[in-house]
Amino acid sequence: MEILSFLAKFGIYAVMLAILIFALGVVTLRNLFHCALCLAAALIGTAGIYVALQADYLAAVQILLYVGGVITLVIFAIMLTEHLAGKTVRQNNSQSPLAIVGSLGFIILIGTLIVKTPWPVNPVALKAKASVLELGQALMGTYVFPFEIISIVLIAALIGTVVIAKKDPQ
Amino acid sequence: MQDLGASINMIFVTAKAWFLSLLGLFLPDWVIVLASIVVSGVVILCLGPVIMMYLTLLERKLIGRIQNRYGPNRVGIWGLLQPIADGIKMFTKEDIIPANADKIVHLLAPIVTVVPALMIFVVVPFGTQMTAVNLNIGLLYFIAVSSITILPIFMGSWASRNKYSLLGGMRTAAQMISYEIPMTLAVVPAIMMSQSLSTNTIVLSQAGSHGLNWFIFTPWGIVGFIVFFLCATAECNRPPFDLPEAESELVAGFHTEYSGMKFALFYMAEYMNAFTLCALAATLFLGGWQGPFLPSWVWFFGKTFILICVMIWFRGTFPRFRVDHLMAFAWKFLLPLTLINILITALCYFASPLVGWLLSLGILAVSFSILVKLNRTFVPEKRDYLFAD
């Protein structure tokens, strides 16, 4: 059984490495479509990490929303602007050094936060498992008010897009 | 007699358990765990292509009969070896890559397209205890995985650098995104009634006294089934929803520039999708492997086979949709119908059976007639010209 857990660990690290490589691809590749595909791969990899952490529901929603929804939208946008699809675009400009400084600062901030936070690893926290049933009951019970508010906001956004996309009255 | 029935019912499960215990005699524990995964995996990996091969034969035979001819009958008895001959032909064909194509994406697209098609097999309940992985979010997994199927088609159509391919890709995207929404919503009543996302539990909740308490025998079930089945036909790009590869308009749509084995992979994914979608339609609304007398897996494959035959029948009889009709059908007809269907499911759940039936039938009839009226296509009146003839 030790071999199996070792293999699982190895697999998770391999997936993490792949996510990093694809994420690098998103920001370095010169072709917009390739970038979008790399982003899709990185997002699927993240779903894999969720599965490894026993959050199946989150993984399914991640793939459904990000890969099925957002990436499709991105690719649709690229396809509609066909002259962009075949061309290579530079991903850096004169502001790159400043951006590097900014992102390094952000990484250092996040890193210190992660190191300093005392992560509560106790038996209760390890056994906690977010099942769909509990999530649904929480959404319909404890958190029903925020849930309804979010639904109203989403419907407002939907109607708003329809209004914006409508033809102007001449 | 009942013992025999039960053992035939569980024959595959018993075979797997027997095989694993045989391995357990001389191999360590962790190999057995791996082997139990590998056995299911290998069965699925073989089942997919084999089903696809014989579906093509079935389709050609049936289409042949519909068109009043024999269909393939030269290779083997009843043309049974025809799929193998086709396979050899596909393997030995020249692999052509267009000069300006994006080579990597062009190569990746047909490979990636098979992956989600095979992944869906994992949650299909083939019989009692015959689900490869009994995920408790099985149905959500199916919806999530089937939403990826757009990507490889996009990849293939974009990488070919061909305007027909690109047009096909755009059509696929528009069609699949549109039909995914009513399909997902059509599934919701089944989830509401069985109170579970697991495909296995959904089948179990349709048991009843003789395994005949199928969801299709309820008003919301029949509406859900019809909507789901239509959307499934659209999702796997089969006629009459075959606009992405409409040969009379787009040469061959997104796979115009593919030949040999790469084309075969696209073809394979399409047929495997057709199979899994029919299997899920059977699981969700036709009781899955539930049924009296016969073993569970016979019921399951029988129902799936009938649904596939209906799909082939569609292909033999219906002309292709027009693009605007296709979109209007999904957004203006199926979507409101599924929303109403969710409503009447809740009604059936809370009201007593008789009241539920009458009310839901009434609501369905009214909303259906209103939707049909609203969707009537605008036909301009015939004009009579006074001075010009």
Q: What is the pLDDT of residues B361-382, one digit of tens each?
A: 888 889 888 888 888 877 778 8
Task: Clarify whether residues A128 and A52 are in a common domain.
Answer: no
Cβ–Cβ contact A76 with B under 8 A = yes
How far is Cα B210 from Cα B190, in angstroms, rounded to an integer? Answer: 20
- Cβ within 8 Å, pair B151-A71: yes
Tokens of B280: 């899920």
- Dihedral sign from CA coordinates of B329, B172, B148, B268: positive
**Which of A70, A91, A112 corresponds to the end of one domain?**
A91
Confidence grade of residue A160 (pLDDT, cut at 50, 70, 90): very high
- As a whole number, mean pLDDT of residues B306-320 equals 89
Give yes or no for a contact between A33 and B118, defined as CB atoms under 8 angstroms apart. no
- Residue A113 in domain: no
Predicted confidence (pLDDT) per residue in B6-38, tens digit = 777 777 778 888 888 888 777 777 777 777 788
Query: Looking at the partner chain, which of A33, A67, A76 has a beta carbon nearest the beta carbon of B147?
Result: A67
Cα–Cα nearest to B181, from B227, B134, B131, B117? B227
Confidence grade of residue A18 (pLDDT, cut at 50, 70, 90): very high
Cα–Cα nearest to B315, from B65, B53, B80? B65
Predicted pLDDT at A102: 93
Q: What average pLDDT is seen over chain A?
A: 84
Domain count, chain B: 1
Query: Hey, of A9, A22, A37, A129, which one would you mutate to test binding to chain B, going by the most B CBs within 10 A of its CB?
Result: A37
DSSP-derived 3-state class of residue A31: strand
- Residue A31's DSSP bridge partners are A88
**DSSP letters along B1-54, please?**
-HHHHHHHHTHHHHHHHHHHHHHHTTS-HHHHHHHHHHHHHHHHHHHHHHHHHH
**Is the pLDDT confidence value at A129 over 70?**
no
Task: Clarify whether residues A65 and A133 are in a common domain.
Answer: no
Task: Clarify whether residues A4 and A85 are in a common domain.
Answer: yes
Tokens of B32: 């057995």
Q: Hey, what amino acid is at A139?
A: L
Helices (H), B160-290: 163-194, 199-204, 219-235, 247-250, 260-285
- Residue B107 in domain: yes
**Is the pLDDT confidence value at B355 over 90?**
no
Give B 184-223 residues with CB within 8 A of chain A.
197
Predicted confidence (pLDDT) per residue in B117-164, tens digit = 888 888 888 877 777 777 788 888 888 888 888 888 888 888 888 888
**Is the pLDDT confidence value at A84 over 70?**
no
Burial B314-339 (b: 16+ CB within 10 A, else e): bbeeeebbeeeebebbbeebbbbbbe
Task: Clarify whether residues A66 and A129 are in a common domain.
Answer: no
- Residue A153 in domain: yes
A-chain residues within 8 Å CB-CB of B148?
Answer: 44, 63, 67-68
Cα–Cα nearest to B297, from B1, B3, B8, B4? B8
Predicted pLDDT at A128: 67
Give B 154-173 residues with CB within 8 A of chain A.
154-155, 158, 161, 166, 169-170, 173
**Is the pLDDT confidence value at B262 over 80?**
yes
**Is the pLDDT confidence value at A47 over 80?**
yes
| Overall size of chain B counted in residues | 389
More confident residue, B209 or B86: B86
- As a whole number, mean pLDDT of residues B53-81 equals 86
The set of residues, in sequence order, having a beta carbon less than 8 Å from that of B210 and lying 6+ positions away, is: B292
Task: Clarify whether residues A78 and A156 are in a common domain.
Answer: no
| Residue of chain A whose Cα is closest to the Cα of B151 | A72
Predicted pLDDT at B310: 92
- Residue A99 in domain: no
DSSP-derived 3-state class of residue A165: helix
Q: Hey, what amino acid is at B35?
A: A
CA dihedral B219, B221, B225, B227 (to 10 degrees): 60
Cα distances (Å, whole numbers) of residue B368 to A118, B187, B363, B372, B373: 59, 19, 8, 6, 9
**Is the pLDDT confidence value at A165 over 80?**
yes
Q: What are phi and psi of B328, to 5 degrees?
A: -60, -40
How many residue pairs bridge chain A and chain B with CB atoms within 8 Å of each other?
73
B-chain residues within 8 Å CB-CB of A4?
Answer: 30, 33-34
How far is Cα B25 from Cα B82, in angstroms, rounded to an integer? Answer: 42
Give B 11-70 residues with CB within 8 A of chain A.
29-30, 33-34
- As a whole number, mean pLDDT of residues B232-241 equals 84
**Which of A72, A91, A110 corresponds to the end of one domain?**
A91
Q: What ipTM was reported for this prediction?
A: 0.79
Predicted pLDDT at B244: 72
- Residue A88's DSSP bridge partners are A31
- Residue B335 in domain: yes
- Residue B137 in domain: yes
**Which of A68, A91, A114 corresponds to the end of one domain?**
A91
Cβ–Cβ contact A138 with B under 8 A = no
Nearest C-alpha of chain A: how many angstroms from B121? 16
- Residue B354 in domain: yes
- As a whole number, mean pLDDT of residues B248-271 equals 82
**Is the pLDDT confidence value at A167 over 80?**
no
Predicted pLDDT at A110: 94
User: What percentage of chain B carries pLDDT values higher than 70?
Assistant: 98
Domain limits at A69? 1-91
Q: What are phi and psi of A31, to 5 degrees?
A: -105, 125
| Residue of chain B whose Cα is closest to the Cα of A34 | B105
User: Looking at A69-73, A136-140, B6-10, B297-301, which range is the least confident one?
Assistant: B6-10
Helices (H), B236-379: 247-250, 260-285, 296-317, 323-328, 335-350, 353-374
Q: What average pLDDT is seen over chain B?
A: 84
More confident residue, A128 or B227: B227
Predicted pLDDT at A17: 93
- Cβ within 8 Å, pair A67-B148: yes
- Residue B198 in domain: yes
Nearest C-alpha of chain B: how many angstroms from A18? 17
Nearest C-alpha of chain B: how many angstroms from A102? 34
| CATH at residue A12 | 1.20.120.1200
**Is the pLDDT confidence value at B70 over 90?**
no
- Residue A101 in domain: no
CB neighbourhood size of B18 (10 A) = 10
The set of residues, in sequence order, having a beta carbon less than 8 Å from that of A118 and lying 6+ positions away, is: none
A-chain residues within 8 Å CB-CB of B120?
Answer: none
How far is Cα A139 from Cα A133, in angstroms, rounded to an integer? Answer: 10
**Is the pLDDT confidence value at B233 over 80?**
yes
Domain count, chain A: 2
Give yes or no for a contact between B129 and B10, defined as CB atoms under 8 angstroms apart. yes
Task: Clarify whether residues A23 and A67 are in a common domain.
Answer: yes
Q: To which residue do tokens 């609501």 refer? A: B363
- Residue B336 in domain: yes
| Residue of chain A whose Cα is closest to the Cα of B103 | A34
**Is the pLDDT confidence value at A58 over 80?**
yes
Predicted pLDDT at A42: 92
Confidence grade of residue A1 (pLDDT, cut at 50, 70, 90): low
Predicted pLDDT at A21: 93
**Is the pLDDT confidence value at B1 over 60?**
no
- Residue A97 in domain: no
- Residue A114 in domain: no
Task: Clarify whether residues A85 and A150 are in a common domain.
Answer: no
Task: Clarify whether residues A72 and A139 are in a common domain.
Answer: no
Cα–Cα nearest to B144, from A38, A47, A12, A110? A47
Crossing angle of helices B29-66 and A2-28, rounded to 10°: 60
Burial A116-142 (b: 16+ CB within 10 A, else e): eeeeeeeeeeeeeeeebeeeeeeeeee
Cβ–Cβ contact B286 with A under 8 A = no
- As a whole number, mean pLDDT of residues B240-267 equals 79
Domain limits at B351? 94-374
CB neighbourhood size of B170 (10 A) = 19
Cα distances (Å, whole numbers) of residue B376 to B365, B369, B371: 17, 11, 9
Predicted pLDDT at B34: 79
Confidence grade of residue A20 (pLDDT, cut at 50, 70, 90): very high
- Residue B44 in domain: no
- Cβ within 8 Å, pair A61-B140: yes
DSSP-derived 3-state class of residue A30: coil
Q: To which residue do tokens 């190999």 refer? A: B31
Cα distances (Å, whole numbers) of residue B110 to A5, A29, B65: 33, 22, 31
Give A 31-50 residues with CB within 8 A of chain B.
31, 33-34, 37, 40, 44
- Cβ within 8 Å, pair B147-A37: no
Confidence grade of residue A170 (pLDDT, cut at 50, 70, 90): low
Nearest C-alpha of chain B: how many angstroms from A109? 35
Give B 310-369 residues with CB within 8 A of chain A.
none
Predicted confidence (pLDDT) per residue in B318-342, tens digit = 888 888 888 888 888 889 999 999 9
Task: Clarify whether residues A16 and A73 are in a common domain.
Answer: yes
More confident residue, A142 or B296: A142
- Residue A78 in domain: yes
pTM of the model as a whole: 0.86
- As a whole number, mean pLDDT of residues B176-200 equals 87
Task: Clarify whether residues A85 and A128 are in a common domain.
Answer: no
User: Looking at B90-94, B120-124, B287-291, which range is the least confident one?
Assistant: B287-291
Cβ–Cβ contact A142 with B under 8 A = no
